[in-house]
A and B are shown apart, each in its own frame.
Chain A
Amino acid sequence: MLLFLAGFVIIPLGVSIFDSFFQVSLLDVDSREFSGIQNYIRLFSDKNVRQAFLNTSFYVVTALTAESVLGILTAVVLKDKFRFRGIIVAILILPWALPPLVNGVIWKLIFDPSIGMLNSVLMRLELIEEPFIWLNNPDISKICVIIVHIWKMLPMISIIFMAKMQTIPEEILEAASLDGSGKFKQFFTMILPNMRGIFLITLIQGSIGAVHLFDEPYYMTGTASDTRSLLIEDYLIAFRKYDLGEGMALAMVISFSLLIMIVLLMILVRRGTKDV
């Protein structure tokens, strides 16, 4: 196990950290020059990186909020047995099973201003008079991207919540009903407190998913600055500017930011569990 960890985690991580302090060109990876923290200084003074950081922060906050709220609601609806539940769950899982690039292709077509389904439906319903630009409209482009991401992540989050809800003994809920506790009260006093532990898993999954956003914004809007994620920016630095050193530095910043975020979430959720 230790060998596995060393080979696949510790050594690659060490090499990446090491490289981030060097000037390394992708075109000649064997020649490198020590540059100290220059790569990091350049990163923090780069307005494209700052914009990508803001975009990714938006993606993380909106994705975690929407996935948690909608995930719980979907799980509540699906937790009890009803006709066609199995088929509905199977259909629900489809977006999650799609590769992110395919997801991007589908939604790019849906959002297409000329032939897209969304404009066509809205115009038929007379909600808009002329085709609307969705993906390259700075006011809503980020929202479009995150909707597509949430659409993909929601099934998995919902199923995790649903699985946890189904572990709550039916007898307890029935006893609460007999005591006059309504569904609404049961949800807030019995179901939700039981979900706190599982929240940690879904929040971590959601954070990783949102920070790792790449295919959807890249395919739907190219390298547009208003939707460019940190991962796209990192990719552009490493593979378009061929600056592997700075690319590694940004990869380190992304990884450690994610690590800090996960630790904070763990502290928050644990504190919440203790309060209960």
Chain B
Amino acid sequence: MAGCKGEEKKETKAANDSTQSQDGEEITVLLPPWYEEGLTAAIPDFEEKTGISVKLEIMEWDPLRDRIVQSCTSNKAPADITEFSWDWVGTFGAAGWYEPLNDYMDEDFWEDCLTKDSYLYEGNYLAVPIYNDFRMTYLNTKDFSEAGISEIPTDAFELLEAAEKIKEQGIEEYPVSLPLSATAGATTPWFMLTKSLGGELFDDNYKALFTEKDSAGYQAMEWIMKAYEEELVNPAAVDYQGTDIVDHYMNGDGSIDIAGWSGNVTEYFNADKSAISDSVEVVKVPGANGSSRTYSLLEGIGIPAASEHKEAAAEFIKYINTEEFLKTFFVDYGIFPSSQKVIDSLIESEDIPGGEVVSEVLGTIEPLFPQGAPEWYGTWEGETATIMNQMAKGEMSLEEGLKAIADSADELNEG
């Protein structure tokens, strides 16, 4: 463990504070919608056990990030616990907006946590991973068998041909599911396919690698835009965010959720929630030449430095990181854990549908930026989503769009 290795096992702040009671304190927790159901169910038990009351605030992804930035710039805590995405580490770390959590959690916790280093900033853990979100591809196998496709293609372009076949035969009007609204989620399928096709977005100096026709990034974008132009993707995708795609796919609209969330492995397979539970299958992300890669969009939770209830907030973080809670959080609500112990236990108890494939996919996860995420990633991601939205609406050609995305990165990189 980078932050604690070699150090004498010290008494944690958590242990020190265990004698202090936060009874009667109220904390606010600010998170995106996918945590709402699971946390709402758990909060009464936490409140009863600790006497700390929890006010859960739910916001969509983009406004949530804006709210955090707005509050922190004026030295106010947006909440006592907030979402903390993997790509905010550099920016938020440099600004000193979040409390280091090294001493709030014990050493065993950090040792067991697979993805903790993503939150390391100058030796401090700025957040605790809560959702080990990586992307996989989900298929509605019923549509494939009805179209006479017995073997599921592992090549991205062959999968697109399979989608064309499904559409031609009238089995599914829009077989490919992906979002194309001007919101952050639109970029995920492109980033993921670029990795899966064997490429990178940038070189070591953050020069764009996706403008050449034979590059993986170019081909990945071509894949997406071709799918949209040929109406393999619902034309309404320009209005849809990532969460809309999940809802539609779960209702049976679409054959291929190309960049599905890891947590959907439980949602899609749950007969109470999903119309495709008996026919959905998870596969490795289709790539090229038999290879497959994906990337992680890790989410964590952190305590803003301006919070006035840090100890009580830490109690809540500890509560939702107990083995029992993490299992429930995954099995019932699809929040994929970062705890090695919990993942092993879930695989052993066969609680991960398609467990073997998921294990294989876990082995193909690579960082989106092997050279380190640039501080301007969040801004560039937003610009990229807007440009992809314009490309889908026919306001920019493929070449123009990719050039605009590359120019935007150059401009941000030059500061």
Contact B386 A224 (CB under 8 A): yes
Q: Which residues of chain B from 376 to 406 have any CB-CB distance to chain A below 8 Å in the complex? A: 378-379, 382, 385-386, 389-390, 393-395
Q: Does any Cβ of A come within 8 Å of B150's Cβ?
A: no
Does A113 have its Cβ within 8 Å of any Cβ on chain B? yes
Enumerate B54-100 residues with CB–CB distance to A below 8 Å. 62, 66, 69-70, 73, 91, 94-95
Complex CA–CA separation, A27 to B72 (angstroms): 9
Give every chain A residue within 8 A of B62 (Cβ-Cβ): 222
- Given A28-B95, A240-B382, the answer on whether A113 and B235 have CB atoms closer than 8 Å is yes
Q: Which residues of B contact A114 (CB under 8 A)?
A: 234, 236, 248
Q: Is the C-beta of A136 less than 8 angstroms from some C-beta in chain B?
A: yes
Check B236 against A29 for contact (C-beta < 8 Å).
no
Give A136's nearest chain B residue, CB to CB: B238
On whether the beta carbons of A222 and B66 are closer than 8 Å, the reply is no
Given contacts A29-B73, A223-B182, A225-B395, contact A240 B389 (CB under 8 A): no
The distance from the CB of B306 to the nearest CB of chain A, in whole angstroms, is: 15
Cα–Cα, bound, A170→B378 (Å): 62
Residue from A28, A113, A221, A240 within 8 A of B236 (CB atoms): A113
Q: Does A137 contact B (CB under 8 A)?
A: yes
Q: How far is the CA of A239 from the CA of B69 in the complex (A)?
A: 7
Question: For the complex, is A226 an interface residue (Cβ under 8 Å from B)?
Answer: yes
**Closest chain A CB from B230 CB (angstroms):** 16
What is the CA–CA distance of A29 and B75 in the complex, to the nearest angstrom?
Answer: 11
Q: Which residue from chain A places its CB closest to the CB of B180 in the assembled complex?
A: A136
Interface of chain B, main secondary structure: helix
A241 proximal to B (CB < 8 A): yes
Closest beta carbon of chain A to B311's beta carbon, Å: 27
The reply to whether the CB of A110 lies closer than 8 angstroms to some CB of chain B is no
Q: From residue A238, how far is it (CB to closest CB) to chain B in Å?
A: 9
B181 within 8 A of A: yes
Report how far A28 CA is from B382 CA in the complex, Å.
22
Known: A113-B235, A114-B236, A222-B389. A239 touches B70 (CB 8 A): yes
CB neighbours (8 Å) of B394 from chain A are: 138
Choice from B182, B248, B378, B379 contacting A224 with Cβ under 8 Å:
B182
**Nearest chain B CB to A144's CB is how many angstroms away?**
11
Q: Determine which of A131, A135, A225 lies in contact with B390 in the assembled complex, contact meaning CB atoms within 8 Å.
A: A225
Contacts of A136 in B (CB 8 A): 181, 238-239, 389, 393
CB distance from B20 to the nearest CB of A (A): 34
Bound state CA distance, A135 and B393, in angstroms? 11
Residue A260 at the chain B interface, CB threshold 8 Å: no
B239:A135 contact, CB within 8 angstroms: yes
- Contact across chains for A222 and B183 when beta carbons are under 8 A apart: yes
Residues of chain B within 8 A (CB-CB) of A135 are 239
CB-CB under 8 A for A236 and B395, given A29-B73, A133-B236, A221-B182: no
Q: A136-B389, A136-B393, A240-B382 are in contact. Are A27 and B95 (CB under 8 A)?
A: yes
Chain A residues whose C-beta falls within 8 Å of the C-beta of B95 in the assembled complex: 27-28
Q: Bound complex: CA of A221 vs CA of B386, how far in Å?
A: 10
Q: How many angstroms between the C-alpha atoms of A133 and B412 in the bound complex?
A: 33
Complex formed: what's the CA distance from A112 to B236 in Å? Answer: 8
A26 contacts chain B at the CB level, 8 A cutoff: yes
Q: Which residues on A sit within 8 Å (CB–CB) of B248?
A: 114
* A221 near B181: Cβ-Cβ < 8 Å: yes
A111-B236 Cα distance, complex, nearest whole Å: 11
Contact A133 B235 (CB under 8 A): yes
Interchain CA distance A77-B73 in the complex, whole Å:
50
Chain A positions 223-246 with a Cβ under 8 Å from a chain B Cβ: 223-226, 235-236, 239-242
Chain B residues with CB under 8 A of A112:
236, 239
Complex Cα distance, B410 from A198, in Å, reads 51
Question: In angstroms, how far is the closest chain B Cβ from the Cβ of A115?
Answer: 10
Q: A223 contacts B395, CB within 8 Å?
A: no
Contact call B395/A222, Cβ cutoff below 8 A:
no
- Report whether B236 and A225 are in contact in the complex, using a CB–CB cutoff of 8 Å: no
Complex Cα–Cα for A236 and B66 (A): 9
Contact A133–B385 (Cβ < 8 Å)? no
Question: In the complex, what residue of chain A is closest to B390 when comparing beta carbons?
Answer: A225
23 contacts between A and B (CB under 8 A): A27-B91, A27-B95, A28-B94, A29-B73, A111-B239, A113-B236, A113-B239, A114-B234, A131-B236, A133-B239, A136-B181, A137-B393, A221-B182, A221-B239, A222-B181, A222-B386, A222-B389, A223-B183, A223-B385, A224-B181, A226-B390, A239-B69, A240-B66
Could you tell me which A residues sit within 8 Å of B by CB distance?
Answer: 26-29, 111-114, 131, 133, 135-138, 221-226, 235-236, 239-242
Given contacts A113-B239, A133-B236, A137-B393, 13 further A-B contacts (CB under 8 A): A111-B239, A114-B234, A133-B239, A222-B241, A223-B385, A223-B386, A224-B389, A225-B390, A225-B395, A226-B395, A240-B379, A241-B379, A242-B91
The 8 closest A-B pairs by CB, nearest first: A113-B236, A136-B238, A222-B182, A224-B182, A27-B95, A222-B183, A223-B182, A223-B386
